[in-house]
Amino acid sequence: MSDSKASLPIIDHPEVNRRRFLKTAGATLGLAAWAAAMKPLLELTPEVNADEFLQKHYRELTPEQKAVVFKRLEEETKEEYNADVTISDPQPMDNVLFGYALNLSACIGCRKCAEACHIENNHDRASNNSYIRVFEMDMGGIDFEKGNANYDHPVPAPGKYYMPVQCQQCENAPCVTACPIEATWKEKDGIVVVDYNWCIGCRYCEAACPYHARRFNWEKPEIPAEEVNPNQSYLSNRIRPQGVMEKCTFCLHRTREGRLPACLEACPTGARVFGNLLDPDSEIRWVIENKRTFVLKEELGTRPRFFYYFDE
């Protein structure tokens, strides 16, 4: 994929044409003239302001432009949520390719991982959203689509095991291929990210993901000020606008700084393993080399970097 917006393919999807028109109009007219011309449309989309319409794709922004965008978003968060936040932009590290493994023999289905994800990633409190779903499975089967993600009884239950499912951070990510405007892409450390200010909410990526790992932000997130996680990243856990797709990023605001994902730290049984697949001495490499790991829907050729295994 090209890093240049000018090289994006011409697509007839009406939302893409709308964005292209707005971007072109903003570049052609002065900001005041453009804002006046677009006033009726802006009144129809009160969640989006002129600066956001004119904002470039993340990969086109200079460091100076990023600083302006981040400051604007911090100020908007203060105004809308009465919370002081810092939006950072941690970059992928050299010679790092992140991978995750989960010991299904150790997982007890407590959903502490999903709860930690919910809090860490500033999800809407009313919906209780999370990037992690935990499926209760019958012993002897590994098809998570036949599992129950809505169990409400004490766990672990007899004859059951538990399979958490989240973004698989695929090498051949179908969500990336499906996006008509390159709002989602894979970074060099293997994390698939989204520019939430560029996403048009067409949901093509959601339809393309065979793991049902994408979430659509139907409502503007409601989070009490005291519950907003102030340590945010532009491509990760900042409060996402309404009407966009969002997803797990392996907590890149933590992991690119040398910390562990929030879901792993919350796991009470040590079922989760995270690390650098390129490091031969890492725990994740030991698991892959010494355990009988498998990936979900291997036949699709997506090549997930999220592995599962059972103790022998």
- pLDDT tens per residue across span 294-307: 999 999 999 999 99
Confidence of residue 146 (pLDDT cuts 50, 70, 90): confident
Confidence of residue 7 (pLDDT cuts 50, 70, 90): very low
Confidence of residue 141 (pLDDT cuts 50, 70, 90): confident
- pLDDT tens per residue across span 265-278: 999 999 999 999 99
The predicted model gives 220-229 an average pLDDT of 97
Q: How much is the pTM?
A: 0.83
The predicted model gives 187-198 an average pLDDT of 97
Q: How far apart are CA 158 and CA 175, in angstroms?
A: 37
* pLDDT on residue 131: 98
Beta-carbon neighbour count of residue 205 at 10 Å? 25
Query: Is the confidence at residue 32, as pLDDT, over 80?
Result: no
Q: What is the DSSP string of 80-132?
A: HH----EEE-PPPPTT--EEEEEETTT-----HHHHHHHHHTT--TTTT--S-
Rg of the chain on CA atoms, in Å: 20
Query: Is the confidence at residue 96, as pLDDT, over 60?
Result: yes
Residues in the chain: 312
The predicted model gives 71-96 an average pLDDT of 98
* pLDDT on residue 252: 98
* pLDDT on residue 281: 97
Structure token digits, residue 308: 């599962």
